Amino acid sequence: MSRRNISKKRFPEPDPIYNSYLVSLLITRILKSGKKNLAQNIVNKTFTIIQTKTNQDPVMIFEKAIENASPLVEVKARRIGGSTYQVPIEVSRFRAINLSLKWIIQYARQRVGKTMSIKLANEIIDTANDIGNTIKKKEETHKMADANKAFSHFRY
């Protein structure tokens, strides 16, 4: 790793259809084996399903789901004196968005359903309504951080 230059975070271009950075991040997260066109089709079908089910703007519902699923704190393992402690650390906004996208897609893939677009639409709607596995995961990480609050003085 270079000592001089700090690598810059590269943000993707906003999605051409919805003009949103979050949608383009979602597309790159769904991406498998470099098939970006397939991922874009999945996201477009997902947003049409959300539009028909809720009669609201699908991008607004998606943003609300990301906001509901974003964690404030997480735990990181820190090794001190031969024992490992779970140290609670505040999460940056960028990492919180990435974690929430990761969880939404992970639990959408685990859902029972016919196509990925239907499963993803249901997961986004559930997360926007503060129910579902993604919200459980967020609450679980918050509980873990709360339980290990005593080790917060080991923060990096």
Q: Which domains does the chain have, with CATH numbers?
A: 21-154 (1.10.455.10)
Two structure tokens written together for 56: 């609201």
Residues 104, 126: contact at Cβ < 8 Å? no
Residue 122 CB contacts under 8 Å (≥ 6 apart), including other chains = 108, 111, 113
Q: Look at residue 139 and tell me whether its pLDDT is greater than 90.
A: yes
Going by the DSSP 8-state scheme, the letter that residue 72 receives in this structure is: S
Q: Phi and psi (nearest 5°) for 6?
A: -100, 125
pLDDT tens per residue, range 31-87 = 888 899 999 999 999 999 999 999 999 999 999 999 999 999 988 888 888 888 888
Sequence letter at residue 147: A
List the beta bridge partners of residue 74. Answer: 89
Confidence of residue 6 (pLDDT cuts 50, 70, 90): confident
